[in-house]
Amino acid sequence: MSDRSPRQLKKTWLVLILLVLAGLPFSLKLQSSAAPLVFTPALLTFAVLKARLVVLNFLGLRSGPAALRRGLIAWPLFFAVAAAAKALIVAVSLSG
């Protein structure tokens, strides 16, 4: 059960919405194949930040078991790093 107040939850929601909106220009540019590779880590960083906020504030794990908190933050981080590595490998192989 979350110990965050409705006001704190609203703040978290607003930050999450801002992160989605901040990523929108990158999202629309990335769909075109000519988009710079630098957009990829930016977008994945936004995803990890959003995931972290959901785990800490919505799931209420900021004060919960540390192993659970670390595991749930590590899951999106792992896939973000894997996706960034994949994007780099693909870019290098296509340019070579």
Among 22, 36, 70, 75, binds another protein (CB under 8 A): 75
Unique residue bearing structure tokens 């209420």: 60
Chain-centroid distance of CA 36 in Å reads 19
Cα Rg, the chain, nearest whole Å: 16
How far is CA 27 from its chain centroid?
Answer: 13
Question: According to CB under 8 A, which one of 34, 36, 89, 96 is a site residue for another protein?
Answer: 89
Binding of residue 83 to another protein (CB under 8 A):
yes
Question: Does residue 2 belong to the site contacting another protein (CB under 8 A)?
Answer: yes
| Element of type H or E holding 65 | none
Q: Which residue from 43, 53, 55 is spatially nearest to 79, judged by alpha carbons? A: 43
User: Binding residues for another protein, per CB under 8 A?
Assistant: 1-6, 9-10, 12-13, 16-17, 20, 23-24, 26-28, 30-31, 33, 40, 43-44, 46-47, 50-51, 54-55, 57-60, 68, 71-72, 75-76, 79-80, 82-84, 86-87, 89-90, 93-94
